[in-house]
Amino acid sequence: MSYISQVLENIKAKENQAEFLQAVEEVLSSLGPVVEEKEELYKKYAILERLTEPDRQIIFRVAWTDDLGNTQVNKGYRVQFNNALGPYKGGLRFHPTVNLSVMKFLAFEQTFKNSLTSLPMGGAKGGSDFDPRGKSDGEIMRFCQSFMTELYRHIGAQTDVPAGDLGVGAKEIGYLFGAYKRIIGAYENGVITGKGLSYGGSLIRPEATGFGAVYFLREIMKGQGEEIKGKTFILSGYGNVTWGSCLKINELGGKVVTLSGHDGFIYDEEGVKGEKVEFLEEMRAKRLGIKAYADKYGVPFYPNQKPWGKIKGDVVMPCATQNEIDIEDAKAIVQMGIKYVVEVANMPTKNDALKYLVEKGVILAPSKAANAGGVAVSGLEMSQNSLKLAWTKEEVDEKLSNIMVNIHNQILAVCQKYNLGYDLVRGANIAGFEKVAEAMIAEGVY
Ligand code: GLU
């Protein structure tokens, strides 16, 4: 049995965390060419075994008082997966679906994504099963303060730097940072990213994930002799990542015709542009469903459905959450003749669907590469905090664009080296993995 299969079998026998196993299987099964080449070395240092076991998994109780004076209890998590390349780095997710499996898969993915950015960041993720929807401002603040009362001892600008993710935006980051500052009694704003501009945040950070994904697609399209201009985009979600993608797609002359929420999807033939993109911010702040968009702009609303395979277009961009695209969706996407799928959410495609899309010749930009722009600008926020200065919008945007081009180049180099054709999925996994493995070997066994 090959080293990869052996490690996979062992993990499957020990773990029953569906999302984590899915992510591990997806990465490991694409590492064949590089692991074959260096099998002896990787085995000697147990690289695959160590890379699939987090450095540390912290689980804690978060008790807080609701507006009625009752005590509520949630679970809090921080999975510090790997710090071979730099301090642990990754967002916090507040969503009822959060559990240890979701945290582990996200932290695992983050390790390779952060490696691809070429900035010095290890991989981590955290969060809570707390549901911000329907909570008052006061409740969110008290929850964040209680959460930080435990988290603070595990984080720091040189150790572990959280940020936002689903359910954690600028407001939550502000409350979390305020609580941290009060507990430690010092103004160390490099401890968290995604901050507001007035207290050490970076320009372009809110837009970064969406902008980065579109820059990455622009690189892919260049190779195909195509451009964003004139293309029709099928998006899901309506949060931060969808918003940033819409802004950049519009700027480059593309048209976004679908958005979705937990309640269904909308089809806007005219395109989501102008003040409609601004309205997404209001919808997010109020945590409305996507029906609010249909009601306001009089466009068709499809309750409890996903947009995949229902609407014609050139590019599909899942921007909401994990496992949004299953095998049936993948078949419908192929049937519709879609040429590009850009994963902007983390692991939005199930493994069988991913395989199917690639086999059918769809150009698939995997999330590790395509959505790395968010954490990349977080890395740039850390740099600015260390330097105690702030770069202009143009400076940050240019650095972001260069990082995305560089990720594409790294993948191309790997594809060439290992004769993979133009396989962005395997290329991204191998490119992300090689750097982490090299650093782990250099740093010794622990
Ligand atoms: N949550 C984002 C991601 O999945 C950003 C993480 C960060 O900025 O640390 O990459």
* pLDDT tens string 314-359: 999 999 999 999 999 999 999 999 999 999 999 999 999 999 999 9
* pLDDT tens string 354-399: 999 999 999 999 999 999 999 999 999 999 999 999 999 999 999 9
Q: How many residues does the chain have?
A: 446
Q: What's the pLDDT at 207?
A: 97
Judged against a pLDDT cut of 90, whether residue 288 lies above it is answered with no
**Ligand 1 center to residue 195 CA distance, Å?**
13
Q: Of all protein residues, whose CA lies closest to atom 9 belonging to ligand 1?
A: 90
State how beta strands 160-163 and 301-303 pair: unpaired
Percent pLDDT > 90 in the chain is 99
**Ligand 1 center to residue 67 CA distance, Å?**
31
Judged against a pLDDT cut of 90, whether residue 1 lies above it is answered with no
Catalytic residue (one of 89, 104, 113, 125): 125
Atom of ligand 1 nearest to the CA of 378: 8
Would the CA dihedral through 285, 291, 296, 302 be positive or negative?
A: positive
Tell me which DSSP letter residue 345 carries.
S
Position 221, amino acid? M
| Least trusted range by pLDDT, from 136-140, 176-180, 198-202, 283-287 | 283-287
* pLDDT tens string 6-41: 999 999 999 999 999 999 999 999 999 999 999 999
Using CA atoms, how far apart are residues 407 and 126, in angstroms rounded to an integer?
25
CB atoms within 10 A of CB 45: 16
Judged against a pLDDT cut of 90, whether residue 287 lies above it is answered with no
Tell me which DSSP letter residue 322 carries.
T
Q: Which of 83, 116, 378, 403 to mutate to test the pocket of ligand 1 (most atoms within 8 A of CB)?
A: 378
Backbone angles phi, psi at 348, to 5 degrees: -75, -10
125 part of the active site: yes
- Indicate the helix (H) or strand (E) that contains 91: strand 88-94
Mean pLDDT of 260-273: 97
Residue 260 in contact with residue 329, Cβ under 8 Å? no
319 lines ligand 1 (CB under 6 A): no
- Average pLDDT of the chain is 97
* pLDDT tens string 121-148: 999 999 999 999 999 999 999 999 999 9
